[in-house]
Homo-oligomer: A and B are copies of this chain.
Amino acid sequence: MTEGPVRTEAALIEQDRVTDWWSTAVSRVRPGEILLRGYPVEQLIGHVTFAEQIWLMLRGELPTPLQGKLLEAALVSAVDHGPQAPSIAAARMAATCGVGLNSAVATGAGLLGDTHGGAGQQCMEILERIVAGAEPRAVVAEFRERKAYVPGFGHRFHPHDPRRDPLLALVREAVEAGEVPGRALAAGLALEAALAEGRARPVPMNIDGATAIVYAELGFPAELGRGLFILSRSVGILAHAWEEHGSGTRIKGPLPRPLLAGYHGVAPRDLERARRMG
């Protein structure tokens, strides 16, 4: 099909319809030019950090240096939680199945759903409510009534999450420097205090709560907090997939030989007999 010299207004309308369908504000790519949120990519290379670039792509503007560092700290904090995590284990298994490294990473990222990666987003939504006026004790009572965990607090694993304190310290610094409002931090601490009331053992803030505070202070919407967790955890997913890929193991299942998966189904039966019986 030749392009032809006839480019009528209707032809341009038809073409526009399709290119509009795939229009974006994130980037403009033309022969010889790549604009990322309006900036030529060659101006960004070597002049912004990877965390600043992430912010730019998601938010449309560059952060201040201190905001960039706070984002960076949160991204660093959540990169890995070991092979107990299904996202990591699944990626490790994928890396032994003869699929590309990209597929192993995709496998891991695909497991970061509402229950395995959603707590940060859910916590951000709760912080929003408290910043908007909700009473922390009331929120705690609400969850206690539903017999549900408050996302961002407690941990199936760590009595005290080692990532909480350094992240909150960085948030405090940013508040003192006037770079972030400090309201999400106050909300999170109030929630932590309300959770501790009348309990022998506290219910400390965990990584989801700490990063929720960071991302909320930095102005990210709750669902984008989930996206940032995905970028962060992809680093650990890649590292583990790479390590397993180099192990030489083939078709790695969850159990090593000679262990076999258990069975709790019906007793062995015969098809013909079952069909005769009805």
Contact = CB atoms under 8 A, between A and B. Distances in A.
Contact of A263 (B28, B73, B90, B106): B28
Interface string A10-36: 110111111111111111111111111
Contacts of A256: 17-18, 20-21
A54 to B, nearest CB: 5
A138 interface: no
A34 B8 CA distance: 34
A163 B255 CA distance: 24
Interface string A92-116: 1110111111110111011111111
Contacts of A23: 83, 261-264
What range describes how many residues of A lie at the interface?
35 or more
Copies in the complex: 4
A35 B265 CA distance: 10
Nearest to A5: B10
Interface in A118-173: 118, 156-160, 162-163, 165-167, 169-170
A57 B239 contact: yes
Interface stretch (A175-183, A186-194, A195-203, A267-275): A267-275
A98 B110 contact: no
Contact of A84 (B57, B260, B271): B260
Contacts of A255: 18-19, 21-22, 83-84
B45 A167 contact: yes
Interface in A227-244: 227, 230-231, 234-236, 238-243
A113 B258 CA distance: 24
Given A20-B1, A37-B265, A236-B26, A10 B7 contact: yes
A171 to B, nearest CB: 11
A97 B101 contact: no
B77 A24 contact: no
A270 B103 CA distance: 34
Interface of A: 1, 3-4, 6-11, 13-51, 53-54, 57-58, 60, 62, 69, 72-73, 75-77, 79-87, 89-90, 92-94, 96-103, 105-107, 109-118, 156-160, 162-163, 165-167, 169-170, 223-224, 226-227, 230-231, 234-236, 238-243, 245, 250-256, 258-272, 274-275
16 contacts: A19-B259, A22-B84, A22-B254, A25-B264, A28-B82, A28-B263, A36-B79, A38-B265, A45-B166, A48-B271, A84-B253, A84-B261, A86-B94, A86-B254, A90-B90, A97-B112
